[in-house]
Amino acid sequence: GKDWVHFDGTSAAAPIWAGIISTLNAERAAIGRAPLGFAPPLLYSFAAAEAAKGSAGFNAPRAASSNECTAVGICCSHGFPTNSAKGGGWDPVLGLGSPKVDRLAEYVRALP
């Protein structure tokens, strides 16, 4: 019942992203625009557009690595290093970071 349970990883992130993209598509439909389609090019163009304005469209991920142990004791002795400890940027473990959804929504509304 009342206990908090911690979830993370793809199983938590995928439904959140599905909700974000669905909401953005609904906003675009309300102004007579087509759905977004394949998201990765959109996300990278958004990140580049925000960087060109001297802003960040994503919250920098905290330092991590893919060579850590899981909560159930499964460990990986090798993995991908992350860029988050070096000031952010894309990396194979953490991607771009978490989106600043309000800025992403503004960007998406302005697209043709």
The model's pLDDT over 14-56, given as tens digits with 9 standing for 90+, comes to 898 999 999 999 999 999 999 999 998 999 999 999 999 999 8
Closest CA to 94 of 1, 15, 8, 33: 8
What 3-state class would DSSP assign to 51? Answer: helix
pLDDT over threshold 70, residue 91: no
pLDDT of residue 49: 94
pLDDT over threshold 70, residue 90: no
First to last CA, the chain: 47
pLDDT of residue 73: 55
pLDDT of residue 74: 54
Cα–Cα distance measured from residue 100 to residue 49, given in angstroms and rounded to the nearest whole number: 13
pLDDT over threshold 70, residue 87: no
pLDDT of residue 92: 59
Kindly report whether the global pTM for this prediction surpasses the value 0.75: no
Q: At what angle do helices 39-52 and 101-110 cross, to 10 degrees?
A: 100
Closest CA to 31 of 102, 103, 111: 111
